[in-house]
Structure 1
Amino acid sequence: MTQHSEEEIVRFDNVGLRYGTGKEVLSDVSFSLFPGRFYFLTGASGAGKTSLLKLLYLAQRPSRGVIKMFGQDAITLPRDRLPGFRRRIGVVFQNFRLLPHLSAFDNVALPLRVAGVAEKDLRKPVGDMLEWVGLADRIDAKPATLSGGEQQRVAIARAVIGRPDMLVADEPTGNVDAEMAARLMRLFEALNRLGTSVIVATHDLQLLRKVPDSMIMRLDKGKLSDPTGALRYPPRRSLS
């Protein structure tokens, strides 16, 4: 097994989240994430997976509790520091969120442009990244001309082009066939081997067997079970 630093990059302590005046969608959630690990977040539809991911990529603030990321309090982080923090987190959204008027190249280049990378320095890293996800021949294609699997790979390339410390993926295999799902998981594993912590939310329990050294967290009605990641493959155990 790969050795990892034990200095946590994320810590949730008794985090709760509610939208408006409704009941909590997440309750007393506590866990830690560590560098270079691969995590699966599982649970039935409506369990709160997407809400938890929104907290992880700083799109949502909790209603209560403590969230620390990269050694700092993420809840009280000044607004002007959020962009720099977010650049350390790659996100693959369930619905891709590609910009329809931009080519595959320009969609992938977007995070680098936002970070201030000069145009002359974009061609090689973006081209290499599209080649890495198997889309070197679709570099000028607009999203509408790409298949669902191709759009997903562009979204992944965009999420990882800046070599984030953490990658968060919401049901990344939900819109592709089994063969493409396996290919996407190999891409995530390759990124993980480069040192990025990967968190994949999925309802597909078959995926858990594809990354033997992964750690598994399960949400059930807004509460987290097995937060230490003790449940893993192998050995094979029930997720119920």
Structure 2
Amino acid sequence: MSDAEGSIVQFTNVGLRYGSDREVLSDISFTLYPGSFYFLTGASGAGKTSLLRLLYLAQRPSRGMISMFGEDAITLPREELPALRRRIGVVFQDFRLVEHLSTFDNVALPLRLAGMSEGKLAKPVDDMLNWVGLGHRADAKPATLSGGEQQRVAIARAVIARPRILVADEPTGNVDPEMAVKLLRLFEALNRLGTTVVVATHDVHLLRKVPDSLIMRLDKGTLSDPTGALRYPPRREAVGA
């Protein structure tokens, strides 16, 4: 596959195996475009989490090519990877909040790691907490929050630095259907601001909730793309590209 003009991520014939086991992902090829919304779906064990780990650069592939933001992500020197990762927001299935930090401090963490001063980070963190409906829980520790509240903290932390890509692994798996739709609306709002969103889910009902979204289906480690939609830019205009 040739480089797709305007793309921000491109996988070409990517394979992944752990140790000497058989490949868990085989010949994965797709292109992600700015301002688009993608669902990654498939049965349990299909390889969704493994593919996401490649996408947010927590894992290197066993073979193939990965280009991100115009950089070869495989041959990039290890010391340059953190700068690339800061352009990717991640919502983990198990939240991974820092238990001894408040809601405010968990959300502020990416800004502090990026070197933002305390005087400058207070307003964006407060605004973000209000955006996800948790302004009144700024001082609360994770253990005192409900599952849905913890998930919203995790989302706020993932998007506070306005990443180019947001990757979410089963973000609605631990909340009720009403909260699942609310969380999806948060992702849509971020997507409208120009962030490319990739949501891994086994909930097929969610796939119909986002108009114009594209669907990536994994089956036993291979990616199904019968329409070719993942090889060409979406019809709608990319926002903020």
TM range (shorter): over 0.9
Instruction: Give TM-score scaled by structure 1 length.
Output: 0.93
Q: Does 1:115 align with 2:101?
A: no
Distance between the aligned counterparts of 2:83 and 2:141, measured in 1? 28
CA gap 1:171/1:229 in 2 versus in 1, 3 angstroms: farther
2:202 is the counterpart of 1:203: yes
For the pair 1:61 / 2:47, whether they are aligned, the reply is no
Cα distance change, pair 163–125 in 1 and its aligned pair in 2 (3 A) = same
Q: Which string of whole-angstrom CA distances, capped at 9 and with x for unpartnered residues, describes residues 147-194 of structure 1?
A: 000000000000000000000000000000000000000000000000
Identity of aligned residues (%): 79
Classify the secondary structure of the residue corresponding to 2:23: coil
In structure 2, the residue matched to 1:174 is 173
| Alignment map for 1:97-108 (pairs within 5 Å) | 97-108=96-107
- State the distance in 2 between where 1:39 and 1:142 align: 32
Decide whether the 8 Å contact of 1:217 with 1:227 is kept in 2.
no
What is the identity, as a one-letter code, of the residue corresponding to 1:131?
A: N
Q: Which runs of 4+ in 1 moved over 6 A?
A: none
Which residue pairs with 2:158 in the alignment?
159
Is 1:188 matched with 2:153?
no
* RMSD between superposed Cα atoms in Å: 1.3
Contact 1:217 1:229 survives alignment (8 Å): no
Q: Structure 2: how far apart are the matches of 1:30 and 1:160?
A: 26
Unaligned runs of 5+ in 2: 231-241
SS in 2 for 1:122: helix
Supply the distance in 2 between the matched residues of 1:38 and 1:90 (Cα, whole angstroms). 14
Counting only pairs closer than 5 Å after superposition, residues 1-240 of structure 1 correspond to structure 2 as 7-226=6-225, 230=229
Distance 1:228 1:107, change over 3 A: farther
Cα distance, 1:227–1:136 mapped onto 2, change above 3 Å: farther
Aligned-pair distance for 1:228?
A: 6.1
Give the Å deviation of 1:79.
1.1
- The whole-number CA distance in structure 1 between the counterparts of 2:144 and 2:82 is 31
Alignment partners' CA distance in 1, 2:226 and 2:111: 34
- Per the alignment, do residues 103 and 228 of structure 1 end up closer, same or farther by CA in structure 2, a change over 3 Å counting? farther
Q: Distance in 2 between matches of 1:209 and 1:64?
A: 34
Q: When the two structures are superposed, what TM-score results if normalisation uses the length of structure 2?
A: 0.92
How far residue 80 of structure 1 moved from its aligned partner, in angstroms, is 1.2
* 5+ residue gaps, structure 1: 232-240
Cα deviation, 1:97-127, whole Å, max 9, x if unaligned, reads 0000000000000000000000111110000
Deviation at 1:66, TM superposition (A): 0.3
- Asked if the contact 1:32/1:228 (under 8 Å) is kept, the reply is no
Distance 1:227 1:28 in 2: 15
Give secondary structure in 1 for the equivalent of 2:79: helix
Secondary structure, counterpart of 1:47 in structure 2 = coil
Deviations 1:31-84 (A, max 9, x none): 000000000000000000000000000000000000000011000111111111
In the TM superposition, what is the alpha-carbon distance from 1:230 to its structure 2 partner?
Answer: 3.4
Q: How many pairs are equivalent?
A: 227
2: CA distance between counterparts of 1:102 and 1:133?
A: 18
Query: Which residue of structure 2 aligns with residue 237 of structure 1?
Result: none
Query: For residue 238 of structure 2, what is the aligned residue in structure 1?
Result: none
Equivalent-residue separation in structure 1 for 2:26 and 2:114 (angstroms): 35
